[in-house]
């Protein structure tokens, strides 16, 4: 069987490693470089794409045919992209719900296909080094990648000839590398991962070889690329002013190359010179950039990570002083300004012992070793960053898997119908932290059909399963017939990633309003239950009680209806309670009649024939369903849903 390789498919650089003789080993290419630039150049015609360092060298000369930072477009659609994101050196297309495409000479490419070219090179490098074919891989992704982005990463692996055994979050992979020689040490650590295109912050607990993610947060569109862009704009402004010329696309690409190089140098130097020979005919361009000037440009970008860090600590219910260590991952953390910010946020000097460029790849390789059985006494437990559930009757979000639940995981709940003779139930899968369905994101919508029955009779089990890669599958089953549908979600959230970051903050900001709306909807639903049951009871046995009692009950019903119009929660709760109490004698009468009917059927009350018509309903208390609606679902608390007995997807 093929060895399993560990791959860090990065925005800027990618790496591959194998677990050999008890150690993770990163593989170098034919020129001795372990870092492979995630850059692909497409010459056109029948020529094969150039990948890595060779492609990066061409980028300044032929920017429109050279693709870099494609990871930012993985699994995304046109409607998710801002105008600024579409401004890159190569042509990017995508409208509405259409997947993003890169229009290159000769054909249109998907981000997955371009990433596959990088993975093919890594595959060739490791096969050359090992002298054998490799077809299995562990690949890392940012912790905040959604379902569509994770699926896109798996698809890129498949196109490159890999069977992707597992998708691992990048901060978690870094923690694996960090903790390999500390298996007996119980500690809590923060992993601050600022790479070329993404930012992640994760809080993990290490205990006797178990790595458990306590919380995670981040921004899938924040990284060193943004600093490069800001510095490129500054250089373009200087060049334009000095040479009195417009900076075209080709010249901008050359400036971008110099900006990236200058940024790297300024991590160890206080100033550096940027030179563009023959920038305009025989005119050359030269300027000096200081570290202070770079930090002024970079500060607004780097400061955005502060909020993510504070949210992650809050989610883990920890203070900075509770952490045993803070480790840095990602090439951008070499920047002194970034290290100073991390020290300020967490109140301790960050751990810089690990190579920030290689830590994620080492962790992926260790995970490959775990899957191969080469690493013992180590377990990796990841979490889902946002709650998952379905929409229930009244437009509420019913959470099935809470946020920060350790994955892989499986959970389910039973639901019933909202109206009589309902033929199907809509299962709308939601992700988010708000109480109302409309304020969360829809991941998918499907119908489950079943035989018509009175409301509250059908039982539909809904089960969510998140696999080790963070991919969600949803099963819905009619308990009576066993008829079921299984949906493996292939796109996660058709919204901008900034909204993902705002979700938790908005849930806190609107917590009181959301709770009030949920309470009103639930109380209103209870009112409908009581009113419906009372009308039904009066129609059946109202003639058996004195008219003054009937009038009192009707007045109590009118009070509930008036409270419904007022939309005053406390008034409605009081009216419900009064009607509930006022109908107790009616409920007792219904129960007595029902018991009498059962005794008569058993021949225990003489030979009198039973009265014509159906027996009276013995229940007046609110049912766990709503009296009106179309195809909504109502949760049945306390009842266990059927288990699929295994994988749902």
Which residues are tagged catalytic? 8, 71, 170, 193
Q: What tokens were used for 261? A: 């190089």
Q: What tokens were used for 152? A: 């896109």
How many helices and strands (H and E) does the chain possess? 15, 29
Q: What tokens were used for 321? A: 């002083």
Q: Report d(CA 471, CA 485) in Å as an integer.
A: 17
Give residue for tokens 């923690």: 175
Number of other CB atoms surrounding residue 564 within 10 Å: 18
Q: Report d(CA 88, CA 84) in Å as an integer.
A: 9
Give residue for tokens 């058709």: 494
| Cβ neighbourhood burial of 67 (10 Å; 0-12, 13-18, 19+) | buried
- Phi and psi at 119, nearest 5°, equal -65, -35
CA dihedral 123, 129, 131, 133 (to 10 degrees): -10
Q: What tokens were used for 362? A: 């080492």
Strands 424-431 and 441-449: antiparallel
Residue 360, Cα to own-chain centre: how many angstroms?
20
Q: Report d(CA 621, CA 587) in Å as an integer.
A: 8
Neighbouring residues of 232: CB distance < 8 A, sequence distance ≥ 6: 252, 255, 256, 259
To which H or E segment does residue 588 belong? helix 584-601
Q: What tokens were used for 33? A: 């470089």
To which H or E segment does residue 396 belong? strand 396-401
- Characterise 23 by phi-psi region: left (phi > 0), alpha (psi -120 to 50), beta (else): beta
Strands in 325-329's sheet, in edge-to-edge order, are 325-329, 187-194, 199-207, 210-219, 379-383, 406-407
Q: Report d(CA 242, CA 409) in Å as an integer.
A: 60
Q: Report d(CA 205, CA 633) in Å as an integer.
A: 38
- As beta bridge partners, residue 19 has 24
Q: Report d(CA 36, CA 170) in Å as an integer.
A: 17
Q: Report d(CA 250, CA 489) in Å as an integer.
A: 41
Q: Report d(CA 58, CA 75) in Å as an integer.
A: 27
Identify the three-state secondary structure at position 159: helix
To which H or E segment does residue 317 belong? none
Number of other CB atoms surrounding residue 251 within 10 Å: 21
């Amino acid at each position: 069987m093929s060895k399993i390789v560990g791959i860090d498919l990065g925005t800027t650089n990618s790496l591959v490693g194998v677990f050999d003789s008890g150690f993770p080993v990163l593989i170098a290419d034919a020129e001795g470089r372990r870092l492979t630039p995630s850059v692909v150049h497409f010459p056109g015609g029948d020529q094969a794409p150039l990948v890595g360092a060779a492609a990066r060298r061409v980028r300044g000369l032929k920017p429109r045919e050279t693709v870099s930072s494609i990871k930012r477009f993985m699994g995304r659609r046109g409607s998710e992209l801002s105008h600024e994101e579409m401004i890159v050196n190569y042509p990017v297309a995508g409208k509405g719900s259409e997947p993003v495409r890169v229009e290159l000479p000769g054909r249109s490419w998907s981000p997955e296909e371009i990433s596959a070219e990088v993975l093919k090179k890594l595959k060739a490098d490791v096969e050359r080094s090992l002298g054998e074919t490799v077809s299995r891989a562990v690949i890392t992704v940012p912790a905040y990648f959604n379902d569509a982005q994770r699926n896109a990463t798996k698809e890129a692996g498949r196109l490159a000839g890999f069977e992707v055994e597992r998708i691992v979050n990048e901060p978690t992979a870094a923690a694996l590398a960090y903790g390999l020689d500390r298996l007996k040490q119980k500690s809590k650590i923060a992993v601050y991962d600022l790479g070329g295109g993404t930012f992640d912050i994760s809080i993990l607990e290490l205990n006797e070889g178990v790595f458990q993610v306590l919380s995670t947060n981040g921004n899938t569109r924040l990284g060193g690329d943004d600093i490069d862009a800001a510095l490129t704009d500054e250089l373009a402004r200087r060049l334009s002013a000095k040479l009195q010329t417009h900076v075209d696309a080709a010249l901008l690409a050359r400036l971008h190359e110099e900006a990236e190089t200058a940024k790297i140098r300024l991590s160890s130097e206080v100033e550096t010179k940027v030179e563009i020979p023959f920038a305009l005919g025989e005119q050359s361009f030269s300027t000096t950039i200081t570290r202070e000037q770079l930090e002024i440009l970079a500060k607004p970008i780097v400061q955005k990570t502060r909020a993510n860090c504070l949210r992650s600590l809050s989610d883990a219910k920890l203070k900075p002083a509770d952490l045993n260590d803070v480790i840095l991952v990602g090439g951008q953390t070499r920047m002194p300004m970034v290290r100073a910010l991390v020290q300020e946020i967490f109140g301790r000097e960050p751990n810089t012992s690990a190579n920030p460029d290689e830590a994620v790849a080492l962790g992926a390789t260790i995970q490959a070793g775990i899957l191969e059985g080469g690493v013992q006494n180590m377990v990796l437990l990841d979490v889902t960053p946002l709650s998952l559930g379905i929409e229930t009757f009244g437009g509420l979000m019913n959470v099935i898997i809470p946020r920060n639940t350790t994955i892989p995981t499986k959970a389910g709940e039973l639901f019933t119908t909202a109206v009589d003779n309902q033929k199907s139930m809509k299962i709308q899968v939601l992700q988010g932290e708000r109480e109302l369905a409309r304020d969360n994101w829809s991941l998918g919508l499907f119908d489950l059909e079943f035989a018509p029955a009175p409301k509250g009779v059908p039982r539909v089990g809904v089960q969510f399963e998140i696999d080790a890669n963070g991919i969600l599958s949803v099963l819905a089953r009619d308990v009576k017939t066993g008829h079921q549908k299984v949906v493996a979600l292939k796109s996660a959230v058709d919204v901008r990633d900034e909204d993902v970051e705002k979700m938790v903050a908005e849930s806190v900001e609107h917590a009181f309003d959301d709770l009030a709306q949920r309470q009103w909807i639930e109380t209103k639903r209870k009112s409908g239950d009581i009113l419906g049951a009372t009308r039904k009871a009066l129609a059946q046995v109202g003639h058996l009680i004195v008219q003054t009692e009937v009038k009192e009950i009707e007045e109590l019903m009118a009070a509930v209806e008036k409270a419904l119009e007022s939309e005053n929660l406390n008034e409605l709760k009081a009216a419900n309670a009064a009607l509930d109490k006022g109908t107790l004698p009616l409920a007792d009468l219904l129960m007595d009649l029902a018991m009498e009917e059962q005794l008569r059927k058993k021949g225990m009350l003489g030979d009198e024939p039973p009265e014509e018509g159906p027996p009276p309903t013995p229940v007046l208390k609110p049912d766990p369903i709503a009296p009106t609606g179309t195809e909504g679902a109502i949760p049945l608390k306390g009842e266990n849903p059927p288990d699929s007995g295994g994988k749902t997807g």
